[in-house]
Every structure is written in C-alpha cells, then in structure tokens.
Amino acid sequence: MNILLVEDEDAIAEPLAAGLRREGYEVDRVATGEDALAATGADLVLLDLRLPDLDGTEVCRALRARSDVPIIIVTAKGEEIDRVVGLELGADDYVVKPFGFRELLARIRAVLRRTRADASDTRLVAGALEMDLKSRRATLRGEELALTTKEFDLLALLAVDPGAVVSRDHVLREVWKTDWYGSTKTVDVHVASVRKKLGDRRWIETIRGVGLRLAPQS
C-alpha cells in the first residue's frame, strides 16, 4: 500500500513518514504541489494545504479531477470554511494539525477500507453482529435488530472497520449528509439508541475529543 505524503515541512514529514513505514506502508514524500501532481501509483494521498508553490486546494481539485485516489487533507487550517471547501473539492477526510499519529492511522485505515471495498460485497460482520446492506437487515446473535434508517446507517458506518475511530463530523457527513460542524447532539442521541438496542453500551465506544468506534462484544 503506497501513500503519497505531500508536506513541505521536514519536521512534520520525516517522523510521519517513518511512523507510516513502521506500520507497513510504502511512503513517497514530496514537498510541492507540482511534484504531487507529477507523482503516480499512490493508493492514498495525505495532502497539506499550505505548499510553497501551489494552493493545496488546487492540488486537491486537480487530483480528484483525474483520479478516484483517496485524499486526506492534513493541515493547520482548521476553520469551518476550510473544512467545507476541502470536502467539497473531493477530499475523503480532513485532519487538523496538531493530530495524534494513532488517530491519523485509524482514519487512513477507515478511508482505505471504505474506498477499496468491493461494491458487490453487501455483508458486514463484526463479532456477533451481522449487517446486510442490500436488504438493510441487522442481526445480533441471529436476532434481528429493529433499527431506524439513520440508526442502521450509523451502525453500518462503524461496522465497515471495527476498532477504527470515526469522528462525529464524519458521521454527520456520511449519515446525515451535512457538513455542519456545530453541536453533534443528534449523533449522540442516535448512538444512545443503538447502544440500547444492542443490549450493551460497550459495543460503541466514545473516544473523548476524537470520535466513536465499534467494539464488538462476545
């Protein structure tokens, strides 16, 4: 799995590339937008927006226009408008500096799982939980769960990559189709309802300040 790291600051790029290589990824690092657009063969792009030659948003736009390669924007530009613009240009996720390496790693894995999943595979399994995306049925230990539309979509999003952390902002984008970055109370209400129907709140863990993850129980 090859990651193209587009970052001009050595102090950030070098330890990040080293950490990704320790996790088994091949990493090609470039420091300019021009080099990013000239690169080929990446399975995922980590893209800084502040580059010395080109605006990172233009690089994102150009990459998306020619390819479906997953793009995660990694930048210090954390204002709401920056997030919205990045996502509208086709980025698959948006991580604001400073960030934890494990959080970024979880996001990389989640994006890769989501974008590389076989479209014909409509069945998700996480421990005793099984979900059929085509029939929109979910069962736990063989018993069907009575989930609402949003509850099913929320649980399916987490079940794509059990153990990976998913931010509430990402849940809002994928389940509610919105880029709202205000209160996420709606998400919390639905999480509480899904936990109740699963019969054990430990199925969905809250990682404070990061997001949610599915933790299959025996």
- The CATH number linked to 168 is 1.10.10.10
Same domain, yes or no: 28 and 77: yes
Rounded CA separation 102/152 (Å): 27
Same domain, yes or no: 111 and 169: no
Please say if the pLDDT value at position 38 is more than 70: yes
β-pair partners for 73: 47, 94
Rounded CA separation 166/216 (Å): 15
Rounded CA separation 210/212 (Å): 7
Task: Walk across the sheet containing 2-6 and list its strands.
Answer: 26-30, 2-6, 44-47, 71-75, 93-96
**Structure-model confidence comparison of residues 125 and 121, the more confident one:** 125
What mean pLDDT do residues 145-160 have? 92
What mean pLDDT do residues 19-43 have? 94
Please say if the pLDDT value at position 91 is more than 50: yes
The residue out of 69, 90, 116 marking a domain boundary is 116
Please say if the pLDDT value at position 99 is more than 70: yes
What confidence category does residue 120 fall into, taking pLDDT thresholds of 50, 70 and 90?
very low
Same domain, yes or no: 183 and 82: no
Number of domains in the chain: 2
Same domain, yes or no: 160 and 208: yes
What is the domain extent for residue 199?
A: 123-214
Please say if the pLDDT value at position 52 is more than 50: yes
* CATH number where 9 lies: 3.40.50.2300
Q: What is the mean pLDDT of the chain?
A: 87
The residue out of 79, 99, 116 marking a domain boundary is 116
Structure confidence at residue 133 (pLDDT): 86
What mean pLDDT do residues 43-67 have? 92
Same domain, yes or no: 132 and 200: yes
Same domain, yes or no: 163 and 204: yes
The residue out of 116, 150, 179 marking a domain boundary is 116
Residues 214 and 203 sit within 8 Å (Cβ to Cβ): yes
What mean pLDDT do residues 40-47 have? 93
Please say if the pLDDT value at position 118 is more than 50: no
